[in-house]
A and B are shown apart, each in its own frame.
Chain A
């Protein structure tokens, strides 16, 4: 099956710093999403981005499907950005089932 690798596994930032999270996947996919899991456990949709680039405020994401990777950029980080970021992909012909990366745990210090 498809393998999803996220890096780095952990990241500590000072408030105001920028960061880039990476997701590599091993096969073509028809869905790629980035989620933020907050301290209460809820998974928040950040981006649905099987290809191309999107921006939402301080966050942006780029997926290069032909090279099988995606990047999540966080600029001017805030303490509320802390939590776990998951890259999740959907293989073709799997009826919407998703494969989760192991996540990047981000801690933003004041």
Chain B
């Protein structure tokens, strides 16, 4: 079974803090994704990565950066957290070998106060 794990289920941070959200997958998938989900807005793609050290902006990259130093790990970084980044963050992975079937982690509920 594909497993995608995220470093925290719940996280509370203060405005201005640097925040790291970590995602790890164990199926050698080349593609990894970060989304945020907000009520009424659905899931929106923040960043994705096709390979190690490769990244591409999604629909809402402002205020975020990412890092992919190893194939299995994709990190989302909030350089200076703001209250409007309070959200549910979901990581996912997929592979062309499996027809791009996407698998999601359990999510991280981030609250910025």
User: A interface vs B, CB < 8 Å?
Assistant: 30-31, 33, 35, 40-43, 45, 48, 50, 86, 88, 90, 95-98, 100, 102-103
**B94 contacts chain A at the CB level, 8 A cutoff:** yes
Quick check: A102 and B100 within 8 Å, CB to CB? no
Q: Which residues of B contact A33 (CB under 8 A)?
A: 101-102
Contacts of B102 in A (CB 8 A): 31, 33, 88, 90, 96, 98
Additional A-B contact list (6), CB under 8 Å, known A33-B102, A41-B90: A30-B99, A41-B37, A42-B104, A90-B102, A96-B95, A97-B45
Are the C-beta atoms of A102 and B42 separated by less than 8 Å? Answer: yes
Please give me the 9 A-B residue pairs with the lowest Cβ-Cβ distance, nearest first.
Answer: A43-B104, A96-B100, A48-B101, A96-B31, A41-B107, A96-B94, A31-B100, A42-B106, A100-B43
In the complex, whether B109 has a CB less than 8 A from a CB of chain A is yes
Which residues of B are interface residues toward A (Cβ below 8 A)? 31, 33, 37, 42-43, 45, 48, 50, 58, 88, 90, 92, 94-96, 99-104, 106-107, 109
A96 contacts which of B88, B90, B96, B104 (Cβ < 8 Å)? B96
Complex Cα distance, B106 from A25, in Å, reads 27
Query: Could you list 24 examples of A-B contacts with CB < 8 Å?
Result: A30-B99, A33-B101, A33-B102, A35-B104, A41-B107, A42-B104, A42-B106, A42-B107, A43-B90, A43-B104, A43-B107, A45-B103, A48-B99, A88-B102, A95-B31, A95-B50, A96-B31, A96-B33, A96-B94, A96-B100, A97-B45, A97-B48, A97-B58, A100-B42
Given A31-B99, A98-B102, are A41 and B88 also a contact pair (CB < 8 Å)? Answer: yes
Q: With a CB–CB cut-off of 8 A, which chain A residues contact B31?
A: 95-96
Distance (whole angstroms) from the CB of B82 to the closest CB of chain A: 21
